[in-house]
Copies of this chain bind each other. A is one copy, B any other.
Amino acid sequence: MSDLVARLRRHQWRMTPQRRVIAEMLDGAHVHYTADEILERACEHMPEISRATVYNTLNEMVALGEVAELNFDGRSKRYDPNVDHDHHHLICDGCGTTRDVHTTADPLDGLPGDERHGFTVTEASITFRGRCPDCVDAG
């Protein structure tokens, strides 16, 4: 039983086989998949699942606050079930792989008052970029 499934149940969210497959896939992953990757993998367990269901389900998980939506390449969104801890992201410029990382300092502390331009600033997230071990080796 996945922890994400348990968290979703607490919202009185109707559990269907399709939703369960998607939730368990997200929860077990240490990388963050795109909607299409999730569709592709879900099809291995449930060949008739539709694209609309995958998108609907992911959007509802985001609306419930149990999954975060990430966007780094301007193309496809990725989904991150780790909403509890505050963390940042490390992205490979070669293959797009995305993983969670933790920093030693809160980036909000680095933004002085006179750089806030009257905004009420509530959040800061860091995007680190580079090349993963596989892409470094591949040149």
Contacts of A92 in B (CB 8 A): 119
**Which A residues are closer than 8 A to B by beta carbons?**
69, 71-74, 77, 90, 92, 99, 101-105, 107-108, 110-112, 115-133, 136
Dominant secondary structure at the A interface:
mixed
* With A73-B71, A104-B112, A107-B107: A124-B129 Cβ-Cβ less than 8 Å: yes
A116 to B101, CA, bound (A): 8
A71 to B92, CA, bound (A): 16
A108 to B122, CA, bound (A): 21
Contacts of A119 in B (CB 8 A): 90, 92, 128, 130-133, 136
Asked if A121 and B115 sit within 8 Å, CB to CB, the answer is no
Q: How many copies does the complex hold?
A: 2
Contacts of A115 in B (CB 8 A): 90, 101-103
Contacts of A112 in B (CB 8 A): 104
A39 to B133, CA, bound (A): 40
A99 to B111, CA, bound (A): 13
Contacts of A90 in B (CB 8 A): 111, 115-117, 119, 121
Contacts of A102 in B (CB 8 A): 115
A81 to B123, CA, bound (A): 25
Asked if B121 and A133 sit within 8 Å, CB to CB, the answer is no
* With A74-B77, A105-B105, A115-B101: A121-B110 Cβ-Cβ less than 8 Å: no
